[in-house]
Amino acid sequence: MLAVLTAAVAVCVTLTVLNLVLLFAVIRKLRDQPQQPEFVPQTLTPGSAVRRFEAKTTTGATITEESLTSMVVAFVSPSCAPCRDLVASIRQTVPRLGEPLLLVVVEELDDATRAAVAGVDGVTVVADTESNALTSAFGVSSFPTVARLDGRLVVSSGSKLTDVLEPVAS
């Protein structure tokens, strides 16, 4: 009986030592791994080009990447508080932009958004709900996102309309 207990203790000690050796090997391997970069939301960087897209405005007009001119594009989601603030500021800010505004709503167009843009000259609205064509073409992954365009090229970007009032000097 003593021999069996001694053998069991020897097996347990051997397995414990083996476990420690493997644990230290894994720790060494993890230390040698390069650090994973922090997640950074994809944003529109100045100089980047808009990819191909086709979308319908709320008035039924078709827009494509070829129809982009010097304009400001704002991507909003009615369910996010900063987006609601941006939409509420449209009436005061759009005249200061000096260029037309393309407002891309990524969910169903709500009454508050309709009311905010009603009667404001120079605002075109696209409800990008089903295809996400514009969101994909611009590479937008966080909301709100605002960009000033010169044709298909992004000149400046930010998260508020006031971020793109003045183009960034090259």
CATH of 54-164 given 3.40.30.10, 1.10.390.10, 3.40.50.970, 3.30.300.30:
3.40.30.10
Tell me the average pLDDT across 48-65: 89
Tell me the average pLDDT across 84-112: 87
- Provide the pLDDT for residue 168: 41
pLDDT, tens digit (0-9, with 9 covering 90-100), for 21-51: 999 999 888 888 777 655 444 567 888 888 8
User: In the chain, pLDDT over 70 holds for what percent of residues?
Assistant: 92
- Provide the pLDDT for residue 79: 87
Enumerate the domain spans of the chain: 1-36, 54-164
Alpha helices in 41-153 (DSSP H): 81-88, 90-97, 111-117, 133-138
Tell me the average pLDDT across 126-144: 85
Please, which residues bridge with residue 71 across strands?
149
On the question of a cis peptide bond just before residue 144, with omega within 30 degrees of 0, the verdict is: yes
Q: Please state, rounded to an integer, the average pLDDT across all residues of the chain.
A: 85
More confident site: 107 or 72:
72
Q: Is the dihedral of CA 152, 154, 159, 164 positive or negative?
A: negative
- Provide the pLDDT for residue 130: 72
